[in-house]
Structure 1
Amino acid sequence: MKPSRIIIIILAGAVMAAFFNLDIHHYFSLSSLKANIDHIHAWQSSHPFKAVFIYMAIYISITALSLPGATIMSLAGGAVFGLWKGVIIVSFASTIGATLAFIVSRFLFRDAIEARFAEKLAIINRGIEKEGGFYLFSLRLVPIFPFFIINMLMGLTKISTMTFTFVSQIGMLPATFVYINAGRHLSQLESLQGILSPGLLSAFALLGIFPIAAKKILEVIKRQRVMSAYKKPKKFDYNLIVIGGGSAGLVASYIAAAVKAKVALIERDKMGGDCLNTGCVPSKALIKSARVLSQVKRAENFGFKKGEINYNFADVMERVHRIIKKVEPHDSVERYTGLGVTCIKGDATITSPYEVTVQTSPCKVTVKTSPCKVTVKTLPCEVAVKTSPCEVNVKRTNPGEDESEPEKEERVTLTTRSIIVATGASPFVPDIPGLDQIDFYTSDTIWNIKKHPGKMLVLGGGPIGCELAQAFSSFGSQVTIVQRGSRLMKKEDPEVSQLVKEKFEAHGITVITGYIPKKFSFIKESHGSFPACHLESANDKNEKTIKFNTLLIALGRKPNVKGLGLEKLGINILSDGTIESGDFLETNIPNIFCAGDVAGPYQFTHTAAHQSWFASVNALFGGIRKFKVDYRTIPWATFIEPEVARVGLNESEARKKNIPFEITRFDLSDLDRAIADSENHGFVKILTVPGKDKIIGVTIVGSHAADIIAEFVLAMKHGLGLNKILSTIHIYPTMAEANKYAAGEWKKAHAPEKLLLWIEKFHAWMRNDF
């Protein structure tokens, strides 16, 4: 503890000791005040200014040190100075004293409390940051809450001193008025309890509800002000319109239909979004095939002399599309129509908070053309458009009588109570000189590849880039992965990035970090012309040139917010392209919500589904009850070998946020099942609150990490500590046992040594071994 804090504590302790030991506190009683009031009043009449100064000094000191006596001082103020003068003097003296107590509490205790209860205090501070003034005002208006406790507790939060002072002065005025007025009739008072009658306390309680009621009224007024600019329909076609048929949109419409709301789901392209068609499903299908091939190449590890698989790369990609087709019915129009959802294919534009215009055209498609520029064409139905390297199959969904002519576009306007924007995200393609002359793939278009890529260049060392780089490497491609940062998978701890890099290099992947693509060109050689990427070091300006025949851009994804009418409505878009939303996933137009990639802060399918519950329930029932979205236990995984899975904070994030923690680690090299599977590499790394088994975060690197981390997600969600995991029976031999062994490592590190020493003596006594 700092010397200045020690000095303040000693001085405050000395004053408090003197206050009680020297019987000073007896002077601050009702009987003492009544006995001496005439002398005090006479002295005040002779020394009016000095009396005000001394009175305020005593009042401020008592309040600042949280000593008993503020009530008696308030009564004395009314008795000596009268009603209005007393109210002014006491109001300022009590506010100054409360502010000093607030500052002292913050100076002495806040750092220690933050270190011990960082997570809980962070939640409180988020609420204080948004509505701290309302909280404080409500507490000040209800005198059943001791003011000195409010002063000290508020000092532990991050409410500003100016806000605390201003709100306290206003909030304490009603109680100040009551006590000053009671002091004017001091001779009639028999006890302090008589000042605040049950009726008066009830009135104050109602008054304390006023700020909350006022807040609600202001919200209604604000909502009406926003919505008044738009004509409200007398009748609505739907309770809810969801724009986007990906993970977020599907879950939102499913929930709405399940609670018997009339809901429309508008999708411009394919149901299932990128997860089904270009993301999770195809990537995991490709990764599975790659892992089978990788394991066969490691046949010697499993006791075989040699392993070999004959395969055709086109057949592997055909399997990927078969998997998509097999999963497709789960997200199909037929299924959701059967659930009660009206499914509409077309381009949606929000024209008002109550209206969505849909432009339907079964034959209007976005076509990727060489070199993968995007054009929109209206094509005859039942045609297949093939481009290099992109391929789009276009089929008529509602064939007309004359199939030689495309159907005409139709525009229809739908009315709705609420809207959810769930339009997902698209691959980010940077503006690099020469790129427009190169055929390239993104995570959306790579699934149309048929020819085996010989030399593949992957730009981006995040989860998507790493997964696809390793998968294609398993199929024999010469893969080079380029990351502009200093390491792969920058959101993970450095040791994770290093382990992944070592595995990649052992896999035959060339890993280049700290380099930025500056331009693309074609290099002429004797046997042809080859595309090349020219890299420049982010630090020393060194250059590298990488030749390739296949380019994959995996530099992240940008939210799809264009063309929806959001800008025209004035809906706020943040710098990262996501829609600005509140705790309830509402936009600045109160009946328009968002979920999934367009909402951020995570771009995971399971997060999109998680958000959709909150968005749909708040959109449908927000007038009755609203639910804040909860991001405390969002897990994620990168499906490489070894898998990397995480929930909560990792070590890097905890250090960055100055959150104290302990680390417990269990290496999978000691796990029987990992050894049996020849997968004995990786670790379980747990961050806990110092001295406690409460879990702050978990990182698992190893085989099936994405599966075995689920136990920690459950534990964190429901407040279960490592002792609970340790006492849970785990099947032997399984990879999930790693969780129990990791909990055991924590227990060993926190063994009660003194108790064990006494137990050892007990056992010796039982053996008569003295």
Structure 2
Amino acid sequence: MAKRRLILVALIVLGVGAFFLSGAADFLTLENLKAEQARFHAWLADDPVTVIGGFFVLYVVMAGLSLPGATLLTVLGGALFGLGWGLLIISFASTIGATLAAALARTLARGPLEKRFAPQLERINAGIRREGAFYLFTLRLIPLFPFFVINLVMGLTRMRLWTFYWVSQLGMLPGTAVFVNAGRELGNLESLSGILSPGLLGSFVLIGLFPWLARGVVAVAKRRRLASRYDRPAHFDHDIVVIGGGSAGLVANYIAAAGKARGVLVGRDRLGGDCLNTGCVPSKALIRAARVASEVRESARYGIHAGEPRVDFTQVMGHVHHAIREVEPHDSRERYEGLGVEVIAGEACLLDPWRVQVTGEEGERVLTTRHVIIASGARPRVPDLPGLGDIEVLTSDNLWQLETLPGRLVVLGGGPIGCELGQSFARLGSQVSLVEMGSQLLPREDVDTAAALRQRLEAEGLSLWLDTRAVRVEAGAGQQGGHVLVVERESSTGETLTERLDFDELLVAVGRAANVAGMGLEALGVETRKDGTLAVDESLQSVLPNVWACGDVAGPFQLTHASAHQAWHATVNALFGEFKRFRVSYRALPAVTYTDPEVARVGLSEKEARAQGTEFEVTRYDLSELDRAITEGLTEGFVKVLTVPGKDRILGATVVGHGAGELLAEFTLAMTHGIGLNKLLGTVHPYPTWSEAAKASAGVWKNAHKPERVLGWLERYFAWRRSDSAGARTPVAPRQAENETRDMRS
């Protein structure tokens, strides 16, 4: 790549040099064009194909190399070919040349600039993805901005060249038409500046601003049209009404209460939502019990012989429900009422953008509010599988009512929930089969990450069915009174194989669906995305200016801490958005899968970086090298850090192993506050701890980037210091040495 860049730079330098050395720059003046106009017309009459072709190629080359004179060529084209043909020829030549200039800038400079200014360009490219075409179109309409500068700058972004081409073709058309038309009066032109009078420039500016103004007017009109159907209250009883009592809803109310806003929390189910009652808390309690069983089973390797553990599943579930009760006060009604939040149990429905009807045990009540935050969460998605309705299906919602340990459990889905619960039930004594349509577990993670988890699960006796599609359920068709899941997969020869999996219980863990029904949102024009989540912008605002959404109902990450992160943004933007709004960022959002080994990641994975076209460098440190891991006999796993090539700036980090979620916190902090691997390496870590893995990973990176030339100089320097000639000194007499010592002491 570097060699090709050098060759390309050399060719460009030769082209530019030839242009100026040939005197073309001096020739391309308005006076010369006017003087040679008759000869140009004669050439065109004698050989139109050569003149048109040569003019087209010359224009493309000059625009592509950003050489001066394109404006004069446009005027000349109008003089030679007239308005119609001149506009057609120059429009295509200028657009192709502009695209060539953008491509050259991209090839030569985008890579090095992205390495050095990655955070800044990341934000710019995010804007380009959202509004790039619209922004470029506006710039093209306004001749105040030099087109060659636009070509070069836009070439450094991630805009697709095809998008750049067709937007430029349309956007440059009005300005090109003005100069081509002026060329028809070439003989009467006194200067190029006369073409663009102040009035004409003002017209172009208005044309360029018109799309932005139109977009804003349309957006405001759309919102006013939706709001005009209803009567806005003369006054409001509340500043904010939050629908949903899960993690997002609780945090939203906490933020509102902290800001002294008057808030209402409307919850249909128990406060705490899925996280407290059916998700994070019970699952981690179950995982802990299952890990204890595994530790007892493996204790012989430490010299502790306890034998096969006896699992009392009733007591295991008792531990799970005890954990829920212990955490419950943190999310209780009493706590939030103590903060000043009004808590109402019931179903909420938006009558209009400012009125929320709540139906509960105390009857119906209508709340008036300036803002509404939808935090209604999500529910387990159950696939439309033939025969599934004939059995009672387990999900993460109803799993916690199990009274007996399933003898044979089939888990449908190899994502985080399926892997966590599947491993836990296997450790407690169930015979577990895990079915996943994809080629790997944890589809969002890298192949090596998923492979490490797969190896462990298979070692613990789980039967993994990857690249396998569930076809149907046959109720009561299994052995010992159980059921059958019929699945299909391809053999190594490409033949479709049909298999039958016997089970007593089927756990469905194929994702979650947003709770959007029953709140009147569709009638108000609040849209949903293809995945069923509410459509909100980067500030979490819906199409209605006072309706916001956060948490699982908004996506894209269904994680408790992601919900809390969004809730802060939605609440602050709702209450103070007139002054300043904050765009929610997921760049340093951590995620943990609580299997054994744990899988934790923040930022980009290799898979995501490649998909985005982001260049990266990988540093890997195996936990088998970590002293603390060796002492505890927990050496499986690794730390993998993605950095900008040649730099210590962290793009992402993946940790696989014991306590990976805890280890990840240091990398999350580093990414959030722009701390590089050099500073992690320079931080003192206690020995021996698991946290040393972060420092050791930074050490691996540093060793790969050590300054070899400087070290070579140091090697020669110390060799010189060790030599006799450099270290020789004049011998000191004993009496003199004694005197020198006494003098130093005094």
- TM-score class, shorter-chain normalisation, is 0.7 to 0.9
Distance, in Å, in 2 between the alignment partners of 1:657 and 1:769 is: 59
Q: Does 1:424 align with 2:428?
A: no
- How do 1:480-491 and structure 2 match up within 5 A? 480-491=433-444
Q: Which residue of 1 aligns with 2:246?
A: 246
From 678, 685, 697, the counterpart of 2:640: 685
Give the aligned residue type for 1:414.
L
Q: Is the 8 A contact 1:531 1:547 kept in 2?
A: yes
Q: Is the 8 A contact 1:422 1:597 kept in 2?
A: yes
Moved more, 483-492 or 196-205: 196-205
- How far off is 1:86 after superposition? 11
Q: Which residue of 1 aligns with 2:65?
A: 65
Q: Is the 8 A contact 2:64 2:99 kept in 1?
A: no
Q: Which secondary structure does the structure 2 equivalent of 1:441 belong to?
A: coil
1:50-100 Cα distance to aligned partner (Å, 9 max, x none): 9998999877764443123457778x889x98xxx9999998888656523
Q: Which secondary structure does the structure 2 equivalent of 1:714 belong to?
A: helix
Distance, in Å, in 2 between the alignment partners of 1:172 and 1:124 is: 28
From 512, 535, 542, the counterpart of 2:486: 535
- How far off is 1:283 after superposition? 1.0
Q: CA separation of 1:460/1:64 partners in 2, compared to 1, >3 Å: closer, same or farther?
A: closer
- How do 1:354-365 and structure 2 match up within 5 A? 354-361=354-361
Q: Does 1:162 align with 2:166?
A: yes
- How far off is 1:106 after superposition? 3.6
- How far off is 1:270 after superposition? 0.6
- How far off is 1:179 after superposition? 13
Q: Which residue of 2 aligns with 1:549?
A: 504
- How far off is 1:47 after superposition? 9.9
Moved more, 414-423 or 204-213: 204-213
Q: Which residue of 2 aligns with 1:333?
A: 333
Q: Is the 8 A contact 2:141 2:171 kept in 1?
A: no
- How far off is 1:429 after superposition? 2.1
Q: Which residue of 2 aligns with 1:110?
A: 106
Q: Which residue of 2 aligns with 1:522?
A: 476
Structure 1 alignment gaps of length 5 or more: 362-408
- How do 1:392-411 and structure 2 match up within 5 A? 410-411=363-364
Q: Is the 8 A contact 1:427 1:556 kept in 2?
A: yes
Q: Which residue of 2 aligns with 1:372?
A: none
Q: Which residue of 2 aligns with 1:394?
A: none
Q: Does 1:723 align with 2:678?
A: yes
- How far off is 1:481 after superposition? 2.5
From 387, 397, 411, the counterpart of 1:458: 411
Q: Which residue of 2 aligns with 1:353?
A: 353
Q: CA RMSD in A?
A: 4.1
Give the aligned residue type for 2:647.
K
Q: How many residues align?
A: 708
Distance, in Å, in 1 between the alignment partners of 2:134 and 2:677 is: 38
Q: Which residue of 2 aligns with 1:672?
A: 627
Moved more, 629-638 or 749-758: 749-758
Structure 2 alignment gaps of length 5 or more: 726-746
Q: CA separation of 1:95/1:7 partners in 2, compared to 1, >3 Å: closer, same or farther?
A: farther
1:431-490 Cα distance to aligned partner (Å, 9 max, x none): 334433433321111112233333333222221121112222232333333333333222
Distance, in Å, in 1 between the alignment partners of 2:496 and 2:55 is: 71
Q: CA separation of 1:659/1:105 partners in 2, compared to 1, >3 Å: closer, same or farther?
A: same
Distance, in Å, in 2 between the alignment partners of 1:572 and 1:128 is: 24
1:160-187 Cα distance to aligned partner (Å, 9 max, x none): 3121222234478999999999997848
Q: Which residue of 1 aligns with 2:224?
A: 224
Percent sequence identity is: 45
Distance, in Å, in 1 between the alignment partners of 2:64 and 2:707 is: 42
1:658-706 Cα distance to aligned partner (Å, 9 max, x none): 4433221111011011111221111111222333323222211101100
Q: Is the 8 A contact 1:140 1:172 kept in 2?
A: no
Q: Is the 8 A contact 2:485 2:503 kept in 1?
A: no
Q: CA separation of 1:689/1:524 partners in 2, compared to 1, >3 Å: closer, same or farther?
A: closer
Q: CA separation of 1:416/1:752 partners in 2, compared to 1, >3 Å: closer, same or farther?
A: same
Q: Which secondary structure does the structure 2 equivalent of 1:545 belong to?
A: strand
- How far off is 1:643 after superposition? 0.6
Q: Is the 8 A contact 2:380 2:395 kept in 1?
A: yes
Moved more, 568-577 or 178-187: 178-187
1:475-529 Cα distance to aligned partner (Å, 9 max, x none): 233333333333322222222222222222322333333333421322487xxx5
Q: Which secondary structure does the structure 2 equivalent of 1:271 belong to?
A: coil
From 420, 443, 447, the counterpart of 1:467: 420
Q: Which residue of 2 aligns with 1:495?
A: 448
Give the aligned residue type for 2:426.
S
Q: Structure 1 stretches (4+) deviating beyond 6 angstroms?
A: 1-11, 41-60, 71-74, 85-94, 141-144, 171-185, 194-211, 307-311
From 616, 620, 624, the counterpart of 1:661: 616
Give the aligned residue type for 1:522.
G
- How far off is 1:644 after superposition? 0.6
Distance, in Å, in 2 between the alignment partners of 1:64 and 1:111 is: 13
Give the aligned residue type for 1:533.
V
Q: Is the 8 A contact 1:355 1:414 kept in 2?
A: yes
Q: Which residue of 1 aligns with 2:734?
A: none
Structure with greater proportional helix content: 2
From 491, 507, 531, the counterpart of 2:460: 507
Give the aligned residue type for 1:713.
T
Q: Which secondary structure does the structure 1 equivalent of 2:599 belong to?
A: strand
Q: Which secondary structure does the structure 1 equivalent of 2:709 belong to?
A: helix
Distance, in Å, in 2 between the alignment partners of 1:524 and 1:71 is: 81
Distance, in Å, in 2 between the alignment partners of 1:582 and 1:694 is: 29
Q: Which residue of 2 aligns with 1:18?
A: 18
Q: Which secondary structure does the structure 1 equivalent of 2:389 belong to?
A: helix
Q: CA separation of 1:113/1:646 partners in 2, compared to 1, >3 Å: closer, same or farther?
A: farther
Q: Is the 8 A contact 1:115 1:659 kept in 2?
A: no
- How far off is 1:321 after superposition? 1.5
Q: Which secondary structure does the structure 2 equivalent of 1:240 belong to?
A: strand
- How far off is 1:719 after superposition? 3.0
Q: Which residue of 2 aligns with 1:278?
A: 278
From 542, 565, 570, the counterpart of 1:587: 542
Give the aligned residue type for 2:365.
V
Q: Which secondary structure does the structure 1 equivalent of 2:486 belong to?
A: strand
Q: CA separation of 1:253/1:18 partners in 2, compared to 1, >3 Å: closer, same or farther?
A: same
Q: Which residue of 2 aligns with 1:404?
A: none
Give the aligned residue type for 2:539.
F
Distance, in Å, in 1 between the alignment partners of 2:507 and 2:649 is: 42
Q: Which secondary structure does the structure 2 equivalent of 1:566 belong to?
A: coil
Q: Is the 8 A contact 2:99 2:164 kept in 1?
A: no
Distance, in Å, in 2 between the alignment partners of 1:37 and 1:436 is: 82
Give the aligned residue type for 2:99.
I
1:723-765 Cα distance to aligned partner (Å, 9 max, x none): 2222222221111111111121122222232332232222222
- How far off is 1:228 after superposition? 2.5
Q: Which residue of 1 aligns with 2:730?
A: none
Q: Which residue of 1 aligns with 2:344?
A: 344
Distance, in Å, in 2 between the alignment partners of 1:551 and 1:304 is: 36
